[in-house]
Structure 1
Amino acid sequence: MKIVETVEYIVANQNLIHGVDLSRPRCGISWWGFVGHIEPGELIRSMFNTLTLLCAILLSLCLPSCNAQHKTPFFVFGDSLYDNGMSLCCGVHAGGAKYWPYGENYFKEPSGRFSDGLIIPDFIAQYAVVPLLKPYLSAGVKVDYTDGINFASSTACVLNENCPYAINLKVQLTYFNEAVENLKQSLGESHTRRLLSKAVYLFNIGQYDYVTFFRNNIGMYPLSSSTKSQYINLILGNLSTHIKTIYEQGGRKFAFQNIGPIGCMPAIKYELGFNEVCADEPSELARLHNHAFAALANNLQIQLPGFNYSIYDFYTALYNRVLYGQTYGFKESETACCGGGAFNGDDSCQKLDRAFSFCNNLKDHLWFDAWHLTQKAYHQISKEFWGGGLDVVAPYNLENLFELIY
């Protein structure tokens, strides 16, 4: 029964709820004069009980939509840096963070996160005072989409052909549309639209597109500026399409972590046989992308009414920590805690059929494995993303973006 119908029913029948018809005088005597049948105190108690029942029914009927109106949920899209177990749910090629030592520090067991503990979306959830998000494909888990959900999955790319076995961004957007339909069924069209306009959409995507591009062209460097520009424009064109899909569903607040210095990763240095701090050629692709994406985001804000965004300068944040690790509390900022080979970059961490080492001084390490950071590093980065100044996150930090009202 709808709320309006319920109210009309109770109002029309409030005098029958306790078995006494008080809707008209009896034998020509008014309610208050009909002392022989009901005392004033009894009448007041009856009316109070009726009102209490009415409030309880109204509360139970509106609770899902009422709660949703006071939430600022967030939806997460991306690759393994944001994957909190999605890859474990669906048999993604190469699997997820399934075995020891992943999760060793915080969860004391693997949780699907490629780190020793919490990752950036987890810390953002804590700052935003919402529960830790569930992976969208969590089998058998009843999910409240009014808090948001995490679609990110290991090795995801913007271009499907770059990562054919992953849950790429296009598929993640398909899942998002499914979640929206679920919300409409439980909240209705107008409440869902309002919820989606309040939500924050957090992205970390593109790294593996550029790793793939670099690998495919490794024997052809230096590449021409036009070759690099064409590829970057291809990535940005697809990314823009996906952002607009969310915008058309009602999304207005977008947060982006730009691409980090790819050439500083233990995995890339191991592949290249590079023995210095950071290889510049792969990192140049990230810098060019980040510059072009900042311009794209600004153009979207001009084109799309109500569109607001935040870009966290992950490139600079991570680059500084690699170069000046001691300043940020990392005694070891080049070699990963888990893995094998030079810089522990051979991607052997957790592999059951390969030998790998695991450090005994985890708190001193910036990198957890060949591709991913430690919980300590993610915590620092999340704090900057959430509350940092314009030198690290702009034009809004996440705290201010969450607070924007639509």
Structure 2
Amino acid sequence: MRGEPNGFRAGPASQQGMRRANLALVLGVIARAPRSRAEVAAETGLTRAAVSSLAERLIAAGLVVEEGPAAPSGKVGRPGTALGLNPDGPAGLGAEIGVRHLGACVVDLRGEVRAWRRLEIRNQGRRPAAVMADLADLLHAAAAEAGLRPAGLTLAVPGLVGADGVLQRAANLGWQDVPLAAELRPALRAAGDDLAELPVGADNEANLGGLAERWLGAGPEDFLYVSAEAGVGAAIVVGGRLLRGARGYAGEFGHVPVHPDGLRCACGARGCLEQYAGEAAVLRAARLTGARGDWVALLAERATAGDTAARMALAGAARALGIAAAGAVNLLDPAEVVLGGGYAELAPWLLPALRAELAARVTVRPWAEERLTVARLGRRGPLLGAAVGVVRAIVADPGPLAAPGPGEGWTGPG
């Protein structure tokens, strides 16, 4: 989770660091599938006594529960008790700020969605404080519905987010240099104290959508995820991990030039992809300028009905996407190009022209059209990625939530 630190401070002795690592090792095995203590010991190489001690700590922290007899292993003797992730334990809270909506999501430790809220509201040009007030109300409603204790919050936003959690620029919102956690925390406190002290992180919506596709949508280890809401973004996943770039801003796909002498973009350059495949551009080409509501649903409805202008607009967007995507494929050689966000719902009308451009422009032959896929999570990806990222961070490092033993010199969240 990017943004604020989780507050954990390791003790001075290496023994504490080792125990913290072993907690993560044990919880990671249990997270893959319920296991008995003996099975965890066999998989981790730890002694049964060590596993039992660590398991008790994880149970006391509410991270693990005993689920009953473990599945038969074929060995003689009574089966052990299976340990599994606690569905009523600490949860992940995700938030999303879109140009035309706000979202909130709670997932449990198993990654199951326990609450999902969405508010259709136009945020472009609104002050951050006003947007955060509405978002805080939505987050409190989602947390109350889920009935779980969130352990952290991650915010998905349509813009450039630095490692410090500052939104450097979100052109489609009209925001610049916004410290997201600092803006959100007073709003959370005003709406109720229970969420105000959570660790808060933030990331670009396309990054979180791409990660969610990897985690939940069975995405490959290496792929380019291309997403559209108001603008156009991308996530580059290499070896199962997000490629962020030197300053954390990799993936500004909407500002790849596809027509160097083309239309002037809000970023100041000419011919950016967003001017041909973003929301405003496609609606303009489809003769729907000024349309309100869900632009993706509107275009899909018109294209389904056979509207020539809508279909031509989508084909033109696909050709521009193909030019940009071909350059990325030639440079990165991903296993797949995945259409996410609004593009996933518009895929039936985008895929033909996009496939043709990739086939014509990708130099590594042969280009197989099955390497162009559609995100399974659609527009749910960024918000799911935000919430699931929190619980994945817990599993990767449960130390801050697991109660320390006497005299162990650990301090938890603070």
Give the TM-score normalised by the residue count of structure 2.
Answer: 0.30
Give the TM-score normalised by the residue count of structure 1.
Answer: 0.31
Q: Which has the higher contact order (CA 8 A, sep 6+)?
A: 2
Structure having the larger proportion of residues in strand: 2
* Rg (Cα) greater in structure: 1
Structure having the larger proportion of residues in helix: 1
